[in-house]
Every structure is written in structure tokens, then in C-alpha cells.
């Protein structure tokens, strides 16, 4: 089959050579026949005559050989050349069609680049199909048990979200670090570009004083010096030896990771072994193992794991554990968003196809006489259909070529619109898969919008077409096709516009949620002394107290405060809590509270309302008295109908009870959609001091400064850095942002989906309006003679206007009505993206209907006015 294809290509592109070879071959066979007859004692002339009779005509044989060796490809090439010439003869039609297709195909290519790079492309690791993730999250103790007891998977783990101070190498800087088990790099099949990765046992406490650098950090802070391997650096006051530098394209688990350090597994420290850093566990299937076997083993292991904990774990913890592919585990959170966007651009492409099909029908009407003449001269209808579809594919291919230009710009726009933390976003590029997708899409698109016009044109009535001079196509048939197309086009546009309307309403509602504080004129900054600096609580307390006092005394600063987890900042510190007189239901464990360590007057600085009791004082930070403040929802949940002030709670593991001295209004701390995550049972604030300890039993070293300013906010950053440096030169200042920016960043994901969806809906809206205008214009053109007769017989111009408007509005009504019905069903798939708005929101649907009605009126009015100005005498002479 391959050799046959090669022969056909050779016959197409080396035609003269093939013709010469064919002549030589035919001459050889003819001479062989002549020689055979001469050997039978026939004269040479008679031998030639008999050979010619037996051999047949050389031209007929050549034609048969052409059919075998390349007639199809040759005919296809002719059709392509002819189609290109015809498109050049209609520059207006060609330009509009190419632009329409370029937008549709370009949008699909751009979104498919994201889908390909994030969801479809294999992970860039050795034999990545064998890489897996165990669903859920696990502490270090569980990882150690998995290493010993799982036989289908070699496991590793990593903990993101750790920030460390790099000091002693220029100005102190805050780095993004990932804690990893020793096996992580070997399981991924990755090697260091310089030096080596971790060896077995180098993630155990006391043997873990190592670090591996990212390529970017190596270049930025160490100047790409290859001798850096083996040197020691200080990270958070701990000296670590540089073992290696990873390649530039290694971005696991996130693109912003600067360093990888060992987990530091210590079975003697029960708190860190079982309570801190609940991590995702990944692995590689062992030879002979499959996903089903690994999942079954993970479920069996989970049933034994709860008994290993030194305290009771809830029955729901990782109850539905399974083993999935690592790729699914890394990108599963963005799959729904990408598929929604891909569905939207597919609808846009279908609308573009309908628009171009309408244009092609108009063009086919103008070419009717040409096609009739070709049919009357003997051209087959199949041949006409094939040639017209080839023209459509050529048109779509040119549109796809321009679409690639739009797609290249679109990918940059998409990357900037999507959240920076989107997994594998950097891998979304136009590669060979995307080019194959675009090529296939071009062919499919050309066939889709070209097949109906081609079949209709090829079934032209010859007599009527030739007599009418190019207007013999039955207007009713052509108009019926066009109305069906534009109805479908409008319906699809309404579906997209309805979805966009719902998302816009949802985003508007979300953006106007009261976060529970006043973000205006507020600057935030993350202050992070080394952990060793805060090993003495008094030293850390003095540092932060002096910092707040200095900043408060500066001009333009009206207030300042500190909190360990800034609202909407992306951090959660949690602790299990004993609540006075509260007994957990059977099988459940003590409630889990969101723990916030704050400075005095923090609530006043951020504008959080105190509902009951009092705020913290400077005396509360010394740790002599244990006090706490809870949120309003927490007080209502555990002391419903009672006063929470004076009640008691106790952090699990501590012996002293904390007295609740105040209740504050709820704050949207986790996101604007909810106060706390679903797995958090309440919110507690503790005075920053020795009593406010995290899961690791330590007082938090890093805090977020909130500064309310009355002057120029641009000067606040330098002011904060100078104040921090004057107190501790090794403490970096990071995450310097305004509080309105923090609030805005919290809705980046819904904003990106909404803006992209709305963009596609806007494009569909414009195409739909163009479609209505085109159909009504065609309607007026086809009925010019009829309109002239009506007006000659006394019809008023307003009657003509009503007739044309009625036709257009009926079309719009059918399209909008069917689109609303489809939207009512399909927008339910957007439910998970909506906040405060139902999937069948009447306001959104009503606005979309009204908008399309107005546009339909405008699109119909222009050709209707043209119909009103028809001169009856001109129209009667038109035929």
C-alpha cells in the first residue's frame, strides 16, 4: 500500500519523467510482440500490423496507466489549483470566509494547545505511564509504613508550600522549597544536571543536611558556577550541603520551586511524624503490577493505617483511597475548566462553519449557470461535488494557516489569563500534535461547511438555470437551507451567551461579597525570620513588637497588626481542639480549628468587627494567661443560643484551657465563597506568643504584617524593608501586596474562566448577528422582483418593511427559542463554577433574550430599509 502511494506521488510531481518512462515501457512491449511475429516468418509490416491490433491503442493504454498510477492525486491537484483560482476571483467572499474560519480554528487551536499540554501530553519523565498517585494525603509515619508494606508500588512523597530564607549569599531572599522523600527523583527517573540527587536514607532526621538547587536559582544567585556542588549554604539558619542542580526543564511539583530538601523523617517526634505535613504520595508501579492491583492493596493498607496513629483518626479520612495515574493527580483540578472552554470554542467553530456555509450558498447561487454549463457538457455530478468540497477544504486550510497566527497570540493571552499556579501551563505550546489537530480540523471544517452547498449546487436543474442566466436555483430551497443554518447558528450563540451571562452574574456576585474586613488602603507583607531566631519566643516577640511600634510611628501609617495566616492568603494553620462540654459523635474525633496567631489591635487594623467581649492586650501575648477569640460561626456552632465569652477550649496536646474573651465577625479567610474549608470545623484566634503553637508544637516564626496607610502606598514597601532590616538584617520581606490585590487574586480562577467564556460568547454573538443579516439580505435579493410587483400594485413601503422584518424576527425567534431550551439543559454543567446564581437564572436568560432580540431587529432593519427603496420599474426590468 505504501509503495502504491509512492508511485502515485511520483506520478504527480515528476510527470515528465514518468511519461518518458511509460513511453519506453510501451515501446519495449510493442517491439517484443513484433519480434514474436517476425520469428513466425511474417513480414515486418504484417508483424507490426498484427502487433498493433493485439496491443491496442497506446493512448488508451496510457490513460489506463494514468488511472492506476496517479489519476486521483492528479485530479485532486487540479481541483486544488482550480479552487484557488476561483477563490482569487472572489476576494470579498474569500477574505470574509478566511477571517471567520481563522477566528474559529485559531480559538480551537489555542484551547487545544492547553488541553494537549496539560491533559494529553505524557509527563516528561521516564516511562511516565507507570507513575501513579495514591489519592488523599499522608503524614511521614504513613509514608514510612507504605515503604515497608506496599508491594505493587515504589512510593515517594513531597510537601509543597515551604518557604525558607537563603542568607549569606547576597541579600537575604525568601525561597520556595519542597520537602521530598529520598526516592522521589529516582521514581520520576530524573537525574541532576550537576552533582547528584538524594540517596536512600538521606531523608532521615540527622542524615538530611542536604539541598538540591533548581536551575533558575543556580543561575540567579550562584551565577551558574559549576563548583557550587559540595558548598554549604544557610537555609532558615540551618546549614545544608548542595548535592546537585536539577535541569532547567525539571519543574516538579511546581514551576516556582527553588530548592528541594529532605523530609527529615523522625519517628521519635510523634508530632512531626504523624501530625504535620500531610502530603501527596506518588509512586511507580512495580513490574507486573497494574492500577487495579495497586488500588486494592492501597485500600487494604488504609484499613490498617488508622491503628498505627497514636490518636484516633476519623473514619472518613482517606476512606475512598485509590491509585490513579500521576498525570490525573497533578492536573485533575483544572480538567473541568479546560473542557468547558474547549466545548465553548467548538461551538464557536460550528457557528463559524454555519456562517461560511451561508456565504458559500450565496456564492453557489451566483455560480449556478457555470455549474449548469459544466453539467451540460458532460461533467458528472459526483465530480462537481468533489470539486466544490475541495474548494471548501482549500478555503478552510488557508483559514487554518491564519488561525495558527491567531492561536500563537491566543496562547500567550490564555497563559496570562489563567492562574499562575495552573499545573503544566508552561508545556502548552504549538507542537506537532497541535499542528496535526489543526490540519485535521481544517479538513473537517471544510467538509462540514462545504458539503450542503456542494450537493445543492450539483443538483441544479439545467434547463431552468440556463434560461435564468444564473438565477435558476430554486430560491425556496436555498432560502430553506440558509434559514436552517442561521437558526442553528443563533441557537448555538444563545447557548454560549447564556453560559457567559451566568458566569458573569456569578463573578459579579462573588466580587461583591463582604469579606468581613476593610481592604482599602491596606498593605500586606510576609515577614519571615529564621526558625532558629524564634527558637527563643521572647526574642521573636520583641522583634515583632518593635517592628509594629516603629511602623505605627511612621508618617502616613494609621495602624498596623500581625497575623500568621492572612485572610485569602492561601495558608491554613490547623489544630485539633477540645471544646468544653462538647463530645464528638460516635466514630468522630475532636474538631479541627483554623488557628490564627495575631497581635493586639489586629482586628482594629483590618477593620474586623468585634461582636462580643474584648480584643487581646499586650499582656495576653506574654503567655501568663491563656485566652482566645472565636469567630461568630464557631460560637454559634458550639454554643448555640448561649454566650461563648467565658467558655473554654484547649489545643489538643496542651494541658491548660484557654478562656474565650471575645467573638468576632466571620471573615472570608479561605476564599470569597466560604469562610473555611469543608474539613475545618471552626476558627480560633490566639494572641501571638508562647501559647500559640502550630502542629509542630512551635510558635509561628513567620507572620504577615498588615499596615493601614493614609498616604502614598508606593512608599510603604521600602519603609517596611528598612524597618525590618534595622531590626534583623537576615529577615527577608516577601509577598508585598495591597489588600485589594489579595482580594482580587482570590477570584483569579473564576475570573479567567468567565473572561474567556465571555470572549467566545461575544465572538459567537457577532457571528450570529452577521448570519441574520446575511440571510435577510439574501431574502431581499431573491424577492426583488416580487417586491417590485407588490409596490407596483399599490403596496406601501411600510408593508414591505413589515414583511421583511417579520421574516427576520421569525428567524430570530426560532433561533433564540431553541437556543434557550438547549441552554436550559446544557448550562447545568456550569453549576460547579457558579456562586449565588442558579444554572437556570431567569435574569441571565432574560438579558440574553433581550440582547439577541435587539440585535436581530438591527440586523433585519438594514436590508428591510434597502427593500423599501426598491424602484418598481427597475425591479420589473430585473428579469
pLDDT of residue 633: 94
Residue 58 predicted with pLDDT over 70: no
Q: Interior CA angle at 745 toward 739 and 749, to 5°? A: 160
Give CA–CA dist 497/699, Å, rounded: 52
**Using 50, 70 and 90 to split pLDDT, how confident is the model at 5?**
very low
Task: Give residue 576's pLDDT.
Answer: 87
Looking at the predicted structure, is the pLDDT value of residue 594 above 80?
Answer: yes
Task: Give the model confidence (pLDDT) of 185-222 as tens digits.
Answer: 999 999 999 999 999 999 999 899 999 999 999 999 99
pLDDT at 4: 47
What own/partner pairs with CB < 8 Å and gap ≥ 24 does 797-803 have? 797/868, 798/868, 800/864, 800/867, 800/868, 800/870, 801/864, 801/865, 801/867, 801/868
Q: What whole-number distance in Å separates Cα of residue 151 and Cα of residue 18?
A: 64
Phi, psi of 664 (to 5 degrees): -115, 160
pLDDT in tens, 480-496: 777 788 888 888 889 98
Asked whether residue 757 carries a pLDDT value surpassing 60, the answer given is yes
Q: Which residue has better confidence, 336 or 713?
A: 336
Mean pLDDT, the chain, rounded, equals 83
Cell numbers at residue 173, please? 531572599
pLDDT (tens digit, 9 = 90+) per residue, 100-121?
Answer: 889 889 999 999 998 998 888 8
Residue where the block lists cell 494547545: 113
Task: Flag the least confident range among 102-111, 243-252, 865-874.
Answer: 865-874
| Residue-level pLDDT at 190 | 94
Per-residue pLDDT reduced to its tens digit, 812-865: 888 888 989 998 888 888 888 888 888 888 888 888 888 888 888 887 877 777
**Domain residues of the chain, as ranges?**
2-69, 128-331, 334-511+748-877, 529-731
Cell numbers of 282, please? 506518588
Q: How far apart are CA 233 and CA 225, in angstroms?
A: 14
Percentage, residues of the chain above pLDDT 90: 34
pLDDT recorded at residue 68: 47
Which range of 61-65, 313-317, 672-676 scores highest in mean pLDDT? It is 672-676
pLDDT tens-digit map of 409-432: 889 888 888 887 788 888 888 889
What pairs with residue 629 in β-bridges?
A: 662, 685
Q: What is the pLDDT of residues 646-699, one digit of tens each?
A: 999 998 878 889 999 999 999 999 988 888 888 899 999 999 988 887 766 778
HSE value, Cβ hemisphere, 13 Å, CA-based, for 149: 16
Which range in 186-195, 381-390, 448-457 is most confidently predicted, on average pLDDT?
186-195
- Whether pTM > 0.85 for this model: the answer is no
Convert 471-507 to b/e letters by CB count within 10 Å (16 or more is b).
bbbebeebbebbbebbbbbbbbbbbbbbbbbbbbbbb
Helix axes 368-376, 326-366, angle to 10 degrees: 80
Give the model confidence (pLDDT) of 726-749 as tens digits: 998 889 999 899 999 999 988 888
Amino acid at each position: 500500500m505504501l509503495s502504491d502511494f509512492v508511485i502515485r506521488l511520483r506520478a504527480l510531481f515528476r510527470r515528465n519523467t514518468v511519461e518518458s518512462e511509460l513511453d519506453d515501457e510501451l515501446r519495449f512491449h510493442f517491439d517484443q510482440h513484433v519480434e514474436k511475429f517476425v520469428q513466425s516468418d511474417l513480414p515486418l509490416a504484417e508483424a507490426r500490423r498484427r502487433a498493433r491490433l493485439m496491443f491496442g491503442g497506446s493512448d488508451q493504454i496510457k490513460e489506463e496507466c494514468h488511472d492506476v498510477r496517479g489519476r486521483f492525486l492528479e485530479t485532486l491537484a487540479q481541483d486544488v489549483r482550480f479552487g484557488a483560482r476561483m477563490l482569487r476571483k472572489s476576494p470579498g467572499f474569500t477574505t470574509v470566509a478566511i477571517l471567520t474560519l481563522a477566528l474559529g480554528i485559531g480559538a480551537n487551536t489555542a484551547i487545544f494547545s492547553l488541553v494537549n499540554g496539560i491533559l494529553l501530553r505524557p509527563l516528561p519523565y521516564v516511562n511516565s505511564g507507570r507513575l501513579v498517585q495514591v489519592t488523599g494525603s499522608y503524614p511521614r509515619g504513613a509514608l514510612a509504613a507504605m515503604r515497608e508494606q506496599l508491594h505493587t508500588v515504589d512510593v515517594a512523597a513531597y510537601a509543597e508550600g515551604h518557604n525558607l530564607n537563603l542568607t549569606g549569599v547576597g541579600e537575604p531572599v525568601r525561597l520556595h522549597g519542597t520537602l521530598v522523600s529520598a526516592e522521589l527523583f529516582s521514581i520520576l527517573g530524573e537525574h541532576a544536571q550537576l552533582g547528584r540527587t538524594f540517596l536512600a536514607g538521606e531523608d532521615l532526621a540527622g542524615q538530611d543536611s542536604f539541598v538540591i538547587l533548581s536551575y533558575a536559582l543556580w543561575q540567579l544567585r550562584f551565577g551558574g558556577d559549576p563548583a557550587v556542588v559540595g558548598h554549604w549554604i544557610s537555609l532558615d539558619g540551618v546549614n545544608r550541603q548542595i548535592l546537585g542542580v536539577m535541569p532547567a526543564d525539571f519543574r516538579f511539583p511546581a514551576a516556582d520551586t527553588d530548592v528541594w530538601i529532605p523530609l527529615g523523617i523522625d519517628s521519635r517526634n510523634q508530632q512531626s511524624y504523624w501530625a504535620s505535613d500531610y502530603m501527596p504520595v506518588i509512586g511507580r508501579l512495580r513490574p507486573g503490577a497494574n492500577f487495579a492491583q495497586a488500588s486494592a492493596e492501597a485500600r487494604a493498607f488504609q484499613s490498617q493505617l488508622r491503628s498505627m496513629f497514636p490518636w484516633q483518626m476519623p473514619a472518613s479520612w482517606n476512606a475512598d483511597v485509590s491509585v490513579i495515574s500521576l498525570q490525573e493527580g497533578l492536573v485533575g483540578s483544572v480538567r473541568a475548566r479546560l473542557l468547558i472552554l474547549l466545548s465553548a470554542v467548538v461551538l464557536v467553530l460550528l457557528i463559524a462553519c454555519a456562517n461560511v456555509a451561508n456565504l458559500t450558498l450565496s456564492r453557489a447561487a451566483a455560480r449556478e449557470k457555470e455549474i449548469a454549463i459544466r453539467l451540460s457538457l458532460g461533467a458528472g455530478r459526483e465530480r462537481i461535488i468533489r470539486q466544490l468540497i475541495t474548494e471548501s477544504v482549500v478555503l478552510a486550510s488557508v483559514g487554518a494557516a491564519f488561525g495558527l497566527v491567531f492561536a500563537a497570540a491566543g496562547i500567550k493571552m490564555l497563559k496570562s489569563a489563567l492562574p499562575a499556579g495552573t499545573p503544566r501551563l508552561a508545556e502548552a505550546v504549538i507542537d506537532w500534535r497541535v499542528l496535526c489537530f489543526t490540519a485535521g480540523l481544517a479538513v473537517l471544517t471544510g467538509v462540514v461547511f462545504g458539503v450542503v452547498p456542494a450537493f445543492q449546487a450539483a443538483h441544479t436543474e439545467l434547463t431552468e438555470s440556463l434560461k435564468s442566466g444564473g438565477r435558476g436555483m430554486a430560491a425556496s430551497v436555498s432560502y430553506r437551507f440558509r434559514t436552517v443554518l442561521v437558526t442553528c447558528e443563533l441557537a448555538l450563540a444563545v447557548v454560549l451567551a447564556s453560559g457567559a451571562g451566568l458566569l458573569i452574574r456569578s463573578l459579579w456576585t462573588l466580587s461583591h461579597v463582604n469579606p468581613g474586613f476593610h481592604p482599602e488602603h491596606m498593605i500586606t507583607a510576609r515577614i519571615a525570620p529564621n526558625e532558629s531566631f524564634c527558637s527563643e519566643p521572647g526574642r521573636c516577640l520583641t522583634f515583632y513588637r518593635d517592628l509594629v511600634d516603629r511602623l505605627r510611628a511612621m508618617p502616613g501609617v494609621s495602624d498596623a497588626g500581625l497575623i500568621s495566616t492572612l485572610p485569602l492568603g492561601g495558608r491554613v494553620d490547623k489544630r485539633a481542639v477540645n471544646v468544653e462540654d462538647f463530645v464528638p459523635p460516635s466514630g468522630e474525633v475532636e474538631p479541627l480549628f483554623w488557628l490564627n496567631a495575631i497581635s493586639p489591635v489586629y482586628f482594629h487594623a483590618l477593620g474586623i468587627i468585634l461582636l462580643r467581649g474584648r480584643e487581646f492586650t499586650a499582656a495576653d501575648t506574654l503567655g501568663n494567661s491563656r485566652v482566645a477569640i472565636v469567630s461568630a460561626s464557631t460560637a454559634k456552632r458550639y454554643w448555640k443560643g448561649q454566650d461563648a465569652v467565658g467558655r473554654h477550649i484547649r489545643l489538643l496536646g496542651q494541658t491548660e484551657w484557654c478562656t474565650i474573651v471575645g467573638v468576632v465577625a466571620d471573615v472570608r479567610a479561605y476564599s470569597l465563597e466560604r469562610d473555611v474549608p469543608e474539613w475545618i470545623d471552626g476558627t480560633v484566634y490566639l494572641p501571638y506568643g508562647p501559647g500559640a503553637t502550630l502542629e509542630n508544637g512551635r510558635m509561628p516564626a513567620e507572620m504577615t504584617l498588615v499596615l493601614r496607610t493614609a498616604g502614598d502606598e508606593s512608599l510603604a514597601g521600602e519603609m517596611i524593608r528598612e524597618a525590618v532590616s534595622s531590626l534583623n538584617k537576615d529577615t527577608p520581606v516577601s509577598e508585598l501586596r495591597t489588600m485589594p490585590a489579595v482580594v482580587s487574586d482570590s477570584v483569579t480562577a473564576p475570573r479567567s474562566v468567565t473572561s474567556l467564556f465571555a470572549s467566545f460568547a461575544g465572538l459567537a454573538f457577532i457571528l450570529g448577528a452577521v448570519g441574520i443579516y446575511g440571510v435577510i439580505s439574501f431574502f431581499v435579493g431573491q424577492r426583488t422582483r416580487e417586491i417590485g410587483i407588490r409596490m407596483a400594485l399599490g403596496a406601501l413601503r411600510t408593508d414591505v418593511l413589515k414583511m421583511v422584518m417579520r421574516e427576520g424576527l421569525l428567524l430570530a425567534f426560532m433561533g433564540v427559542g431553541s437556543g434557550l431550551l438547549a441552554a436550559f439543559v446544557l448550562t447545568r454543567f456550569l453549576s460547579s463554577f457558579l456562586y449565588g446564581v442558579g444554572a437556570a437564572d431567569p435574569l441571565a436568560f432574560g438579558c440574553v433574550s433581550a440582547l439577541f432580540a435587539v440585535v436581530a431587529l438591527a440586523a433585519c432593519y438594514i436590508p428591510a430599509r434597502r427593500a423599501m427603496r426598491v424602484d418598481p420599474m427597475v425591479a420589473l426590468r430585473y428579469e
